[in-house]
Amino acid sequence: MFSWEKLDPRYLKMQEIVQQELSYAAHDLDHVLRVVEMSLTLAQKEKGVDLAILIPAALLHDIARRYEDEDETGTIDHALLGAEMAAPILKDLAYEQQSIWEIQDCIRSHRFRSGFLPKSIEAKILFDADKLDVIGALGIARSYILAGIHGERMYSDVNIEDYLQDNVTENGRIIDVSKHTVNLEFELKLKKIPERLYTAEAKKIAAGRISFMKYFFEVLEQEIKGER
């Protein structure tokens, strides 16, 4: 992979700004930079990708994540707020208005529940790259970081339908995170990610990562039950 930081000196400035805003271990600068790298990997398989839109969008996509994580009301959507926060940053960095709108659109539509579907190829790539970072070995590692923060158990053997009724809202939010576990997150959300991706390369990568996760949770269950 080439050094994308050298393509435009403004990228390093964005990285500095983003680093000051991030807090959660699973949504830290490492996550942002992995999304940038994966976005570039996916872009190589597509035609007509504007890296001058894709890279800033990837760098800024989670800039408002901390505000959502700290919001006890559950009303803040980091994708929508992040698009708003990106505008003055990009303006200060002398981006043209059209580019700002296109970058904002990518940020606004990178999340499942935001209500905005990605339309441009840059937005679709960012969406896919961000989702790939929550599955596979990376997804397991990140999920257990969050599980530790929220005091979740390692594994839960419960009926999925009962759990959905008791601890998940209609829009998919977990009511009591202390009752949530990583294997439940996999069953409810993560294993469905491949079918919602846009690019062929992302779907291919996702299939391998989901297979690994299935095997991991099968082994984990067997070890917990003393079966191996």
What is the CATH class of 134-228? Answer: mainly alpha
pLDDT surpassing 90 at residue 216: yes
CATH number corresponding to 1-116: 1.10.3210.10
Model confidence pLDDT, tens digit, residues 140-198: 999 999 899 888 999 999 888 888 888 888 777 788 878 889 999 999 899 999 999 99
Give the chain's mean pLDDT: 92
The pairs formed by 88-96 with CB atoms below 8 angstroms and a separation of 24 or more are 89/14, 89/17, 89/60, 89/63, 90/56, 90/60, 93/10, 93/13, 93/14, 94/10, 95/56
Of residues 126, 85, 128, the one with CA closest to residue 106: 126
pLDDT band at 61, cuts 50/70/90?
very high
Model confidence pLDDT, tens digit, residues 88-100: 999 999 999 999 9
Of residues 35, 41, 27, 42, the one with CA closest to residue 57: 35
- Does the reported pTM lie above 0.85? yes
Residue ranges of domains in the chain: 1-116, 134-228
The pairs formed by 104-107 with CB atoms below 8 angstroms and a separation of 24 or more are 106/53, 106/54, 106/57, 106/61, 107/57, 107/60, 107/61, 107/79, 107/82, 107/83
**At which residue do the structure tokens 């580019």 appear?**
99
At residue 71, the pLDDT reads 77
